[in-house]
């Protein structure tokens, strides 16, 4: 694979491994910088005295140094390692404090609150740093806060909690990757709004977006189409309805709602077309380059500088520079330089799903699409145009398929139909949208242009909805283990290498990767077969227990919950994560036995055997029982309260367990309980 022969590729790989090592191993900062201090002079000496720069000594030193730079870069940019970060202030999570924050970004609102990302400035007039999620309860007079607004809030920070049930999306880990370690819940009357606003690049970007949206609303732009237009052109998805997003997901077109390489490519082509009258002299070429880079940068700022936007703007800026220098632009080098630059500035982008998917899609388009194109040579321009769209779509889908299944557990079967239809439409919508947005910023939009954009997006939504309605082509609930993800990419890459230039060694590598994939699949299944576990879930207002033997699951619940067990989100996530299926449904009884342990379940009937001495006492349905007397009578080893109980009753039960020195596990507080 020639791309790996580039020195820059190996340096980038070493740098990325350094980021990952620092993220998951957390080496001491002091030790890392001592090693770098020793390593830099050693590198300089080897560089000076090594005549052959391709020698193993120089290569090893270079890659080790890039690895160490990656480690140090991750540590420097991780807020948790800053001594002033609020996460080190232990009592911040225990009692109210006066917290000074600045609004940095709007998030999608929930049903009950307006949500923002805020920067912490001070806590109790002491300088503190870090980011948090600010949740402000909605009421009749709530107004959206402006980016850059300074607030003083009296409240208690809430630590991010892991998911309450197994194999569910870990929102706390997602926030941690964005270096957000807590949330703050407050009412509007508990907030004091500062008189000054921080007018930085984020403020002006948000103000410009708001101005554009308001001017479009004045032109009676339909709200549904407006929200999609804002997502397509400016990358802001906060106001799009869940139904629209679901349609785009099912149709395999959700990527167009996030500004990425496709959008930036259209912008580059459009700006280049507008600049054609400028002569290609040395001075004219420089003016073109300057205007293109400024245009792309301004577009990126307006789009909120999301990871996919930053990546695309950076990459296409390098393409523009290469064209200006009249050199053959090696697209692999462009990708690698953009990765290095972006991760040097913001290493947390590495853990962003959009960043990962967009780079994989671009790499496979560049690497695999020429192979797919060579399978058929169309004779007309029309057929060649659609064949190119189809091969690009397949290359991107093949490259991102394992990762998208790993994250989202579904596959849109009609993605190629969607792309053939919408990509030509999107090119028109993007050009029209950019013109309308520019005119909206100047408060001078011709009604016919506004209506044309609105109708274009209306038709786009209708097409997407029609394709998404064919749910029989959408494959859902696909489980994929992490080791299968890695082995599937190994298989995919070796097979493509063999197809590109067949040889015996490459064929052998492809066969070996197939063998590794099979061994991985068998090993995962054998591991699952040997597992036995009982899980008490955190299911709101219900008691839900499963016993799993290998891949077979028995569900214990009430009759109403058993009827919907196969569509229950909690059980679906559990089965996907464990490659298991529901084999048996059983009505919940007062006693459950598991591997020699007795679990006594006390519900609203408050009936229980007197001399049972259970290992576990499970309290459900806010049972009206004297827990102190029950503990003395049956002497359980642990008491569990699930989410079917009222919280105030759980507080009393917890106090009783503390008094009797018995562990107490509330699933609403600690999540599921597993044996």
- What tens digit of pLDDT does each residue of 150-201 get? 999 988 898 888 899 998 888 898 898 888 999 999 888 888 888 888 888 8
Model confidence band, residue 306 (pLDDT cutoffs 50, 70, 90)? low
Query: For 178, which DSSP code?
Result: T
- What tens digit of pLDDT does each residue of 340-370 get? 888 998 898 888 888 888 888 888 988 898 8
Model confidence band, residue 384 (pLDDT cutoffs 50, 70, 90)? confident
Tokens at residue 509, please? Answer: 């590598």
pLDDT of residue 331: 75
Residue with the two structure tokens 């509330």: 666
1 pLDDT higher than 70 = no
Q: How many CA atoms, within 13 angstroms, populate the side-chain half-sphere of residue 583? A: 10
Indicate the length of the chain as a whole number: 675
**Average pLDDT along the chain:** 86
534 pLDDT higher than 90 = yes
Backbone CA torsion sign across 594, 596, 602, 606: positive
Instruction: Say what the pTM is.
Output: 0.84
487 pLDDT higher than 90 = yes
pLDDT of residue 582: 92
Question: Strand locations in 128-218, DSSP E?
Answer: 131-137, 149-155, 157-159, 180-186, 191-197
Share of the chain above pLDDT 70, in %: 95
494 pLDDT higher than 70 = yes
Q: What does the pLDDT average to over 473-501?
A: 91
Report the side by side order of strands in the sheet with 532-536: 581-587, 552-557, 545-549, 532-536, 673-674
pLDDT of residue 141: 61
**Rounded distance between C-alpha atoms, residue 416 and residue 372, angstroms:** 14
Comparing C-alpha atoms, which of 601, 665, 595 is closest to residue 634? 601
Question: Strand locations in 501-635, DSSP E?
Answer: 532-536, 545-549, 552-557, 581-587, 591-594, 597-602, 616-619
Share of the chain above pLDDT 90, in %: 26
pLDDT of residue 55: 64
**Rounded distance between C-alpha atoms, residue 184 and residue 424, angstroms:** 44
pLDDT of residue 120: 92
pLDDT of residue 51: 63
- What tens digit of pLDDT does each residue of 539-588 get? 888 899 999 999 999 999 988 899 988 888 999 999 988 889 999 999 98
Is there a contact between 557 and 588 (Cβ–Cβ < 8 Å)?
yes
């Amino acid at each position: 694979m020639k791309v790996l022969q580039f020195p820059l590729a190996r340096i980038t790989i070493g740098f990325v491994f350094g980021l990952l090592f620092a993220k998951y191993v957390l080496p001491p900062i002091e030790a890392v910088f001592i090693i770098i201090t020793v390593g830099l002079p050693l590198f300089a000496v080897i560089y000076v005295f090594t005549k052959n720069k391709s020698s193993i000594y120089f290569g090893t030193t270079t890659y080790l140094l890039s690895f160490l730079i990656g480690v140090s870069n991750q540590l420097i940019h991780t807020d948790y390692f800053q001594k002033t970060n609020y996460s080190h202030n232990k009592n911040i999570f225990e009692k109210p404090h006066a917290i000074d924050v600045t609004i940095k970004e709007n998030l999608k609102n929930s049903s009950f609150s307006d949500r923002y990302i805020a920067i912490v400035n001070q806590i109790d007039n002491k300088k503190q740093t870090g980011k948090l999620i600010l949740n402000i309860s909605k009421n009749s007079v709530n107004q959206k806060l402006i980016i850059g607004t300074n607030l003083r809030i009296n409240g208690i920070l809430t630590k991010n909690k892991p998911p309450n049930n197994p194999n569910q999306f870990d929102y706390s880990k997602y926030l941690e990757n964005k270096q957000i370690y807590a949330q703050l819940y407050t009412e509007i009357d508990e907030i004091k709004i500062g008189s000054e606003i921080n007018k930085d690049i984020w403020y002006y970007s948000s103000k410009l977006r708001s101005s554009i949206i308001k001017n479009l609303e004045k032109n009676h732009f339909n709200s549904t189409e407006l929200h999609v237009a804002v997502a397509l052109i400016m990358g802001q998805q906060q106001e799009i309805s869940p139904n629209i997003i679901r349609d785009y997901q099912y149709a395999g077109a959700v990527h167009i709602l996030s500004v990425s390489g496709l959008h930036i490519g259209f912008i580059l082509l459009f700006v280049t077309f507008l600049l054609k009258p400028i002569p290609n002299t040395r001075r004219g070429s420089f003016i073109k380059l300057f205007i293109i880079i400024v245009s792309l940068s301004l577009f990126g700022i307006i789009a909120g500088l999301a990871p996919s936007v930053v990546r695309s703007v950076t990459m296409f800026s390098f393409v523009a520079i290469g064209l200006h220098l009249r050199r053959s632009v090696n697209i692999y080098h462009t990708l690698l330089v953009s990765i290095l630059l972006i991760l040097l500035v913001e290493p947390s982008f590495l853990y962003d799903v959009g960043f990962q998917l967009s780079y994989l899609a671009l790499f496979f388009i560049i690497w695999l699409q020429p192979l797919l194109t060579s399978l058929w040579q169309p004779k007309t321009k029309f057929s060649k145009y659609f064949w190119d769209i189809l091969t690009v779509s397949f290359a991107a889908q093949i490259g991102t398929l394992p990762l998208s299944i790993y994250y989202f557990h579904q596959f849109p079967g009609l993605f190629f139909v969607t792309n053939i239809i919408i990509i030509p439409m999107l090119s028109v919508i993007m050009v029209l949208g950019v013109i309308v947005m520019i005119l909206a910023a100047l408060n001078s939009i011709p009604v016919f242009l506004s209506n044309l954009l609105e109708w274009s997006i209306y038709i786009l939504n209708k097409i997407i909805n029609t394709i998404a309605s064919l749910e029989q082509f959408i494959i859902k609930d696909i489980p994929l283990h992490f080791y299968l993800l890695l082995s599937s990419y190994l298989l995919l890459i070796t097979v493509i290498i063999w197809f590109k230039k067949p040889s015996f060694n490459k064929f052998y590598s492809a066969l070996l990767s197939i063998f590794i994939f099979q061994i991985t699949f068998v090993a995962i299944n054998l591991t699952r077969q040997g597992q036995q576990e009982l899980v008490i879930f955190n299911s709101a207002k219900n008691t839900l227990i499963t016993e799993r033997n290998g891949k077979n699951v028995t569900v214990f619940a009430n009759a109403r919950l058993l009827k919907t067990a196969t569509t229950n989100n909690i059980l679906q996530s559990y089965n996907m994560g464990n490659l298991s299926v529901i084999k048996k449904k059983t009505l919940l009884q007062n006693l459950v036995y598991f591997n020699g342990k007795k679990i006594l379940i006390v519900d609203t009937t408050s009936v229980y055997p007197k001399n049972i001495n259970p290992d576990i006492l499970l309290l459900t349905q806010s049972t009206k029982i004297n827990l102190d007397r029950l503990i003395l009578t049956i002497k359980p080893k642990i008491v569990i309260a699930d989410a079917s109980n009222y919280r105030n009753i759980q507080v009393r039960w917890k106090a009783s367990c503390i008094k009797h020195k018995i562990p107490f596990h509330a699933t609403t507080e600690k999540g599921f309980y597993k044996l």
